[in-house]
Amino acid sequence: MNNEENKELSHRQHVKYFMRFLNILPSSLSSHDTTRVTIAYFSVSGLDVLGAISSMSLELRSRIIEWLYLLQVHPDKDDGDMSACGFQGSSTININFNAENRHYRCGHLAMTYTGLCILLTLGDDLSRVNRKALVEGVKALQTDEGNFSATLSGCESDMRFVYCAAAISYILNDWSGFNIKKATEYIIKSIGYDHGIAQCPELESHGGTTFCALATLSLTNQLDRLSEEQIDGLKRWLLFRQVDGFQGRPNKSVDTCYSFWVGASLKILDVLHLSNYTNNKKYVYETQDTVVGGFSKWPDTCTDPMHTYLGLAGLSLIGENGLLEILPTLNITKRAHEHLKTLHEKWATDMKLCEY
């Protein structure tokens, strides 16, 4: 994989690579079965950024959409409680749920976000999404500190889920379940002495969580809450994450996925052009498998769907030929975002009609 000839995108191999993950989960990823929705997200979004959604048959697209709706947790039938609503990560975790213990089912913020992204990418109109219930599910997960837990069943709460909650609220065009003021204060408190942003206050700055924080501030129109000094410091910290590819933290190895996490953060701050596109592109291509498709985190290591999609998304940010443009804040293509905008317009029209 790491050779001088590996300079062009192996488009056909990557399309086949993602299609395999949509048909069967290999044994190497069996431990990720409970988060199968995220694997579907990387695969469907990967096909989209490759401009290859048409490679999926209508029957396959329909099956994926129907599968996702089966994972939607609806309000409790007895009391109408919506605090557990959202999408689950896999049908596997529903095996032991029956009428007596169905109240233990609950959505997960990351699965809800990625599930909605898949539906949008496949052209679904979200008409079967219980938008009100999902918003209430988001609201139930915000903590007093302003961040979010992933699920009601007990989980860590940090910047990743702040972002997921913001993206869900943006997609549903309803911020009533997201306290923007509290979340913004949490983000500002998580800015470190080095100007990077951490999972939580007082922790180490990280490229992935810096993206989550900046994308949230952008989606909520709160970027102006950062001072000029904080913005300048963030730009410097992010630009210093480039070695050839990008690293997530100082003194760590570069990793394909940070071509998106750090690249998208720089894009949001409108300074990606100050990075070295040539070196970034060269490193990502060094992790490409030109035979079976896919990208890995490091050269000459095993490929996986996450690094494959994020590698392609990172290349899209710097304008690589043959890739659709990515919207950095939502991590979907601009094509999928255009579909979302038509849904927002329809919902606004329907709401006005209901007022008459």
Q: Report pLDDT digits (tens) over 33-70.
A: 889 999 999 999 999 999 999 999 999 999 999 999 99
In a domain, 46, yes or no: yes
HEC sequence for the chain = CCCCCCCCCCHHHHHHHHHHHHHCCCHHHHHHHHHHHHHHHHHHHHHHHCCCHHHCCHHHHHHHHHHHHHCEECCCCCCCCCCCCEECCCHHHHCCCCCCCHHHCCCCHHHHHHHHHHHHHCCCCCCCCCHHHHHHHHHHCECCCCCEECCCCCCCEEHHHHHHHHHHHHHHCCCCCCCHHHHHHHHHHCECCCCCECCCCCCCCCHHHHHHHHHHHHHCCCHHHCCHHHHHHHHHHHHCCECCCEECCCCCCECCCHHHHHHHHHHHCCCHHHCCHHHHHHHHHHCECCCCCCECCCCCCCCCHHHHHHHHHHHHHCCCCCCCCEECCCCEEHHHHHHHHHHHHHHHHHHHHHHC
Name the one residue in this structure whose structure tokens are 């837990």. 149
For residue 278, being part of any structural domain is answered with yes
Q: Give the CATH number for residue 56.
A: 1.50.10.20
Cβ-Cβ contacts under 8 Å for 264 (sequence gap 6 or more): 211, 215, 313, 317, 326, 328, 329, 331
Pairing mode, strands 326-327 and 86-87: unpaired
Q: How far is CA 221 from CA 139, 180, 181, 201, in A?
A: 19, 10, 11, 22
- What is the span of the domain harbouring residue 106? 11-355
Question: Rounded mean pLDDT of 218-246?
Answer: 98
Of 11-20, 48-57, 148-157, 245-254, the least confident = 148-157
Residue 3 maps to a domain: no
Structure tokens at 107: 């959505």
Residue 81 lies in a domain: yes
* Weakest mean pLDDT among 34-43, 49-58, 97-106, 194-203: 97-106
Between CA 126 and CA 71 the distance in angstroms is 14
Q: What is the reported pLDDT for 24?
A: 85
Q: What is the pTM of this model?
A: 0.96
Angle between the N-to-C axes of helices 159-172 and 180-189, in degrees from 0 to 180, rounded to the nearest 10: 150
Residue 208 belongs to a domain: yes
Confidence of residue 18 (pLDDT cuts 50, 70, 90): very high
Q: Which two tokens stand for residue 67?
A: 């599968």
- CA–CA distance, 184 with 192 (Å, rounded to integer): 15
| Res 151 pLDDT > 80 | yes
Beta-bridge mates of residue 197: 191
Residue 8 has pLDDT above 70, yes or no: yes
With respect to residue 219, please indicate whether it lies within any of the assigned structural domains: yes
User: Is the residue at 4 inside a domain?
Assistant: no
* Residue 88 forms part of a structural domain: yes
- When pLDDT is averaged across residues 80-92 and rounded to a whole number, the result is 92
Q: How many residues does the chain have?
A: 356
Domain count, the chain: 1
Measure the CA–CA gap between 234 and 194, rounded to whole angstroms. 8
Is-contact 305 270, C-beta < 8 A?
no
